[in-house]
Every structure is written in structure tokens, then in C-alpha cells.
Structure 1
Amino acid sequence: MASVEIDDVRKSFGNHPVIKGVSIDIEDGEFVILVGPSGCGKSTLLRMLAGLEHITSGEIRIGNRIVNDLPPKERDIAMVFQNYALYPHMTVADNMSFSLMLAGASKSEIEERVKPAAEILGLSNLLHRYPRQLSGGQRQRVAMGRAIVRDPQVFLFDEPLSNLDAKLRVSMRTEIKNLHQRLTTTTVYVTHDQIEAMTMADKIVVMHDGIVEQVGAPLDLYDNPANLFVAGFIGSPAMNFLNGRLDEADAARFVTDDGVALPAPADLASARGKALVYGIRPESFSLGGPVELKVQVIEPTGSESQIVGLIGQTQVTCVFRERVMLAPGETLNVSIDPRTVHLFDAGSGIRLRD
């Protein structure tokens, strides 16, 4: 195991910069997830960490070594890819042990490493099978087993669950998290799915357009987003945003651009006069209150009612634990706890703090 330090790393393809000065400290044994929309640079950063892409500038350290110029095989990392990358003509056991065979490990050493890895991943009864005889989840476990037997300092995962169906993704999230808790190996995991990031990570790195927007524990990012991008990206359904300003006469009231009054945090009176964005999470609405919501769509999920409607002319999403029986076009009265509201500067996108 080892810590990982990414220090002002940049990457350009020709004159086009894709990583614009990223710095991240990853502690020994930590599970860190790089998350962001497609094209934000997260997979490129992971490939640079693996040695599969050259670094334009900056430094990457694994443990005490600067690895910028080391080939992948000398970095003591193991990578699990999105497409499994299994050899179709080899059995599960041979796929898992192939890197050890290339390294000249003895037959007994290979068996000593493959057997416990297969037991951890529930593959003991599948070692004689070929990839074509396995399900998608089983193939992904084989790819993980191949990484485990190498006993690396760092595991790298590049969107390993994106090819699986929704139910299997949920169970595999649990398996990967449980695996990390057992092995405690430093892990860097890339995904565009913020639910994966929230449920699995010790620390999340939110990336956008080649930069790091915010780093923190999952619930810290959810409760205290640094800016509009993080607020809108972390959380499902996403945070609702309404444009407007604080009331000049009463700073505890926010007035939207179309004249709807909403409760606001009383400790941000200094933002009077500024163009602001009002952020409220879907679950922060309560039934009954002074705010009128014109219902457009009702989506019952069983445990919750998700309602899409209009506050003034702005579309918002509300989530209620109660079952709400309404028809589109009807009006629902809701309330908002001002303690759950976030205000953002409309120009910079930065969240206002008291």
C-alpha cells in the first residue's frame, strides 16, 4: 500500500489542454473516486497515474517515488478496465494468474495467491470456466481478481460497472466497497455516476473541464457544495435552482425573477442587491405551506413521490415520503426550511457563506 500525490499535473493534446493543473493528495489505504461528466478529464488523469498517458507537466508520486517517467509495469499498480479485457482462450484461473506467470512466479506461489483471491470474490467454483461461460458480473469479478493477485500498492478502476445492468451495478458497488474494507489497499476509482461516488468513496474529487471543482467526503460535498456545478452534479434528483435576489426590505425573503417570495437564510443579508441563485434540494420541500407548486408530472416510486412542477415559471423537482395523489395542472402548497437553502452568486457560481 502507498499514498498517492498528484501535484499540479497538466496534460495537453497538441494545443488543447485537457487537464489544467490538478493537485490531489490521496492517503495510504484511502478509497478516492474521481467523478464528473464525460469529457471532464477524469479518465485521462487515471491513465496518467497508470502510466498509459504521458504527463505534460507536474508530478505524480506513488509512495516516495516520482513515477512520471516510469513505465506502467514498474509503478506497482493494478488496473481494472470497463471492458474486463479477459483472454477468451484462458480459464478464469489462467486469466487471474497470467501476470504472475509472466513474472516467473512458481506454480505453488501462483496457487497461494489465486486461491484466496477467488474465495474473496466468490469465484472458487468458476476457476475452470472460460469467459464466454460467465455473466457480466462474474467477468468483472475475474478482472478484479486478476488485479488482487498482483498485490499492488494502488488499485485503479476505470468505470468498471458501466457495462452492467442497474441491479447488478448496485450489488457490485457493495462487493467493491467490501473488498476495499478487507484489503485496505489505496484505490482510485473513476465514474460519471455520482450515486456510485456517494455510496462508495471515502473522498470524492469532483472534476469539470479539466479542473478540480471540490474535494471532500461524500456528505460534506452534498451538504456544503462549493459552487453551482458541484451543487447540481452531486445529488439525485439534482438540486433545484431559481434566479432572483434577496428582498431589500427583508433579507430573510428571496424574490425570484418572476416575483415569487421564498424563505432565505437570515445570515446572508450582506448579499442584498446582488443577482443570486437559490438552491434547494428536492427532499427539502415539505407538504403544506405558503409556496404554490403547479404540478406537471407525478412519479410514484413506491417509497416516495417525486413531483415535477412549476414555482412561478421555474421547473423544480420535489421528493416527498408521503404518497401524493394529484393530477397534472393542480396546485400543491409546499414549505421550505430556510436552513436547507443554499445561495450562490449568479456571476461566479460560488456559494455564499455566512
Structure 2
Amino acid sequence: MATVEISGGRKSYGALEVIHGVDLAIRDGEFVILVGPSGCGKSTLLRMIAGLEDISGGTISIGGRVVNALTPKERNIAMVFQNYALYPQMTVAQNLGFSLEISGMSKPDIRTRVESTAEILGLTPLLARKPSQLSGGQRQRVAMGRAIVRDPDVFLFDEPLSNLDANLRVQMRAEIKALHQRLGSTIVYVTHDQIEAMTMADRIVVLRSGVVEQVGTPMDLYDNPANMFVAGFLGSPAMNFITGKLAADGSPVLTLDNGSEVRLHTSPQGRGGEPVVLGIRPQDISVDPVGGTPATVKVIEPTGADTHVLADLSGANFTSVLPARFDKAVGEEVRLSFATPNVHFFDPVSEARIL
């Protein structure tokens, strides 16, 4: 296994720069996920590590060796794509062993490697089948096996679960995480799904428009987002934001544009009388029939364990995760409490986190 280091990484297509001076250090054996919306540059960055995209500036090192000028084969990496990229005319065993065959490995050694990999991934009963005879999850395991059998320094995953249905994605997330724990391998994984990132990663790299917004453990990014983009991207349902002005005397009250007041648990010191953006996660909003801020129920979504409620608060839509036995109807008033220590405050201009 190996470390991966990117220093001042840039990628341009003519005059258009899509990766802007990325610095990133991935430790040996670490599971790092690149996450962000479509078009943020995460797949481009992964392809730069793989050698499938030339780097326009900076350096990429794998295992301490600068690989800018090396071909993908010379980098000793293995990549798993979202479309599986299996050879339809070959059996599972042949798909697994093909790269070893073209590298000149002996047939007995290939057989040993293939059988060992198949056992790790639960593919042994399927070795004689062809891809057309496999389910989506089985095909994805074969694609992963084809990478594992090569014993690379680094595994690169490019949205490998995006073609699977919801239940299968949950199962495959657990399988990939268990595989990482078993192999102790260095993995760089790309996804647009923040749930995948939160549940699988040792560390998450949040990208926006080719720039790294924040790097950290899942819970560090969830609890301490650097800015509104990170705060709103991580977490499901997404964080709520509302703009208002803090009380001039420093008391924990936010006055909204229409003059209504939201009572808080705390407010940032030294910001009295200033405009701020309040950020609060749906799970941290509660019902308070006495002291809560009035809002109008717009949508009710029961999920079984709890109820998601979209409400209008002085012209702003807020999502709350409330108890399963929510007793209000659409159009009725509900009084919501924001008096939780888990609120966040952001600067309305820079969008940086204040508190």
C-alpha cells in the first residue's frame, strides 16, 4: 500500500481551469472520499491520480514517487468504474485473471490469485459464469475483484455504486468498507452521495468548482463545517439556513426581515446588531407549544421512525425531523424551537462559519 500526495494540483482545458491548486495528503491505508456536486472536479482529480488525465500544474506522488510523467500502468494503481467495464465474452474467472495473464504471470499463479480474490468477495460459486448471468451487485464485486487481484498500491473508485438500486447500494457500502478493513488498502473514492461519504470514509474531501472547501473526518465536517456550502452539503435532510439580525444587546434572539423573532440557545459574541445566517439541522429543531416560533405546516412526510415536516417560517421554508406521531395537518400552525446548542452562524457575505 502507499501514500498519495497532491501538491498544487491543477488541471486546465485550454484557458478553462477546472482544478485550482489542490493540496491533499492521503495516508497509507486510509479510505478518503472525494465528494461534491456534479461538475465540481472530483472525477477529474481522481483521473489525474490514475494518470488518465494529464496534470497541468503541481505534482502527484504515490508512495513517495512523483508520477506526473508515468502511465497508469507504471503507477501501480487499480481503478473501479461505475459501469463495471467487464469483458462480456469472458467468465468471471477469466475477467479476474486477464490483467495477470497479459502481464506474463504463470497460469498456476493466476489460478491461485483468482481463487483467493474470489473467496474474499464471495465469488467462488460464480467463477464459471459470464457477466450477463450476474446481478448488478455481483458484477460490481467482479469489477472490484479485478482490481484486488492485481495487488495495487492504491485503489481508485469512481462512483462505483451509482448504477445500483437503493437497497443494493446500502449492502455494497458495507461490503466495500469491510473489504477495506480486511485489506488495509489505500482507497480514494469518488461519489456525489454524501450518505456514502459519511458512512464509509476515514476522511472526506469536499470539493466545489475545483477547489477543496474542507477536509476532515465525517463527524468533524458534520459538527464543524467551515462554511455554508459544506454545512448544507453534508447531512440529510440538508441544513436549514435563514438570514436575520442578532439582538444589539447580545441576547440570544434573531430578528428576521419581517420583524418576527427567533429565540436561540446562544449567539456569537461581539456580533450584536449584525446580520448573520442561522444554520440549524432538521434533527435539532423541536416542537415547543409555548415558547416556540410560529410556522405554517406545508408538507408532512412520515418515514416510520420519525416525520419530516416542511414548514413556512416568515416566508422561509424549514425542514424539521419531528416525532413519528406528529399531530398537525397541512395548513395548521406549529411552534418550533431553535433553542439548541447545535446551531451554527455564518457570515452572510463570505459564508464562512462564525460559531
Q: How far apart are 1:322 and its partner, in Å?
A: 3.6
Q: How far apart are 1:251 and its partner, in Å?
A: 3.3
Larger mean CA deviation between 331-340 and 37-46 belongs to: 331-340
Q: Which residue in 2 is equivalent to 1:349?
A: 351
Question: In 2, Cα distance between the equivalents of 1:260 and 1:218?
Answer: 35
Q: Classify the secondary structure of the residue corresponding to 2:270.
A: helix
Aligned residues: 353
Q: How far apart are 1:265 and its partner, in Å?
A: 5.4
Q: Classify the secondary structure of the residue corresponding to 1:23.
A: strand
Q: Which residue in 1 is equivalent to 2:332?
A: 330
Q: Does 1:44 align with 2:44?
A: yes
Question: In 1, Cα distance between the equivalents of 2:282 and 2:340?
Answer: 14
Q: Classify the secondary structure of the residue corresponding to 2:46.
A: helix
Per-residue CA deviation, residues 246-278 of structure 1 (Å, 9 max, x unaligned), is 011343111122223223454513122332110
* RMSD of Structure 2 on Structure 1 (CA): 1.1
Does structure 2 retain, via aligned residues, the 8 Å contact 1:34–1:205?
A: yes
Q: Classify the secondary structure of the residue corresponding to 1:347.
A: coil
Mapping of residues 11-50 of structure 1, within 5 Å = 11-50=11-50
Q: Does 1:54 align with 2:34?
A: no
Q: Classify the secondary structure of the residue corresponding to 1:298.
A: strand
Corresponding letter in the other structure for 2:348:
A
Question: In 1, Cα distance between the equivalents of 2:68 and 2:248?
Answer: 55
Q: Which residue in 1 is equivalent to 2:299?
A: 297
Larger mean CA deviation between 264-273 and 14-23 belongs to: 264-273
Change (3 A) 1:302 1:266: closer
Question: In 1, Cα distance between the equivalents of 2:286 and 2:19?
Answer: 42
Does structure 1 retain, via aligned residues, the 8 Å contact 2:201–2:217?
A: yes
Change (3 A) 1:316 1:267: closer
Does structure 1 retain, via aligned residues, the 8 Å contact 2:92–2:142?
A: yes
Larger mean CA deviation between 3-12 and 110-119 belongs to: 110-119
Question: In 2, Cα distance between the equivalents of 1:273 and 1:66?
Answer: 52
Q: Does 1:206 align with 2:210?
A: no
Per-residue CA deviation, residues 46-86 of structure 1 (Å, 9 max, x unaligned), is 00000000000000000110000100001010000010000
Q: Which residue in 2 is equivalent to 1:226?
A: 226
Does structure 1 retain, via aligned residues, the 8 Å contact 2:277–2:348?
A: yes
Mapping of residues 262-281 of structure 1, within 5 Å = 262-264=262-264, 266=266, 268-281=268-281
Question: In 1, Cα distance between the equivalents of 2:2 and 2:83?
Answer: 26
Q: Which residue in 1 is equivalent to 2:107?
A: 107
Unmatched 5+ stretches in structure 1: none
Unmatched 5+ stretches in structure 2: none
Corresponding letter in the other structure for 2:318:
V
Question: In 1, Cα distance between the equivalents of 2:314 and 2:61?
Answer: 52
Q: Classify the secondary structure of the residue corresponding to 2:292.
A: strand
Does structure 2 retain, via aligned residues, the 8 Å contact 1:295–1:309?
A: yes
Question: In 2, Cα distance between the equivalents of 1:335 and 1:12?
Answer: 48
Q: Which residue in 1 is equivalent to 2:313?
A: 311
Question: In 2, Cα distance between the equivalents of 1:324 and 1:74?
Answer: 59
Q: Classify the secondary structure of the residue corresponding to 1:308.
A: strand
Q: Which residue in 2 is equivalent to 1:284?
A: 284
Q: Does 1:93 align with 2:101?
A: no
Corresponding letter in the other structure for 2:66:
I
Q: Which residue in 2 is equivalent to 1:9?
A: 9
Q: Indicate the percent of aligned positions where both proteins have the same amino acid.
A: 60
Does structure 1 retain, via aligned residues, the 8 Å contact 2:253–2:267?
A: no
Does structure 2 retain, via aligned residues, the 8 Å contact 1:294–1:330?
A: yes
Does structure 2 retain, via aligned residues, the 8 Å contact 1:251–1:268?
A: no
Does structure 1 retain, via aligned residues, the 8 Å contact 2:302–2:324?
A: no
Question: In 2, Cα distance between the equivalents of 1:236 and 1:321?
Answer: 16
Q: How far apart are 1:326 and its partner, in Å?
A: 1.8
Does structure 2 retain, via aligned residues, the 8 Å contact 1:298–1:306?
A: yes
Does structure 1 retain, via aligned residues, the 8 Å contact 2:303–2:324?
A: no
Question: In 2, Cα distance between the equivalents of 1:335 and 1:304?
Answer: 17
Q: How far apart are 1:298 and its partner, in Å?
A: 0.4
Corresponding letter in the other structure for 2:20:
K
Q: Classify the secondary structure of the residue corresponding to 1:220.
A: helix
Corresponding letter in the other structure for 1:213:
E
Corresponding letter in the other structure for 2:304:
G
Does structure 2 retain, via aligned residues, the 8 Å contact 1:90–1:130?
A: yes
Corresponding letter in the other structure for 1:209:
S
Question: In 2, Cα distance between the equivalents of 1:229 and 1:329?
Answer: 31
Larger mean CA deviation between 315-324 and 211-220 belongs to: 315-324
Q: Which residue in 2 is equivalent to 1:216?
A: 216
Q: How far apart are 1:235 and its partner, in Å?
A: 0.5
TM-score (normalised: structure 2): 0.97
Does structure 1 retain, via aligned residues, the 8 Å contact 2:263–2:293?
A: no
Corresponding letter in the other structure for 1:149:
V
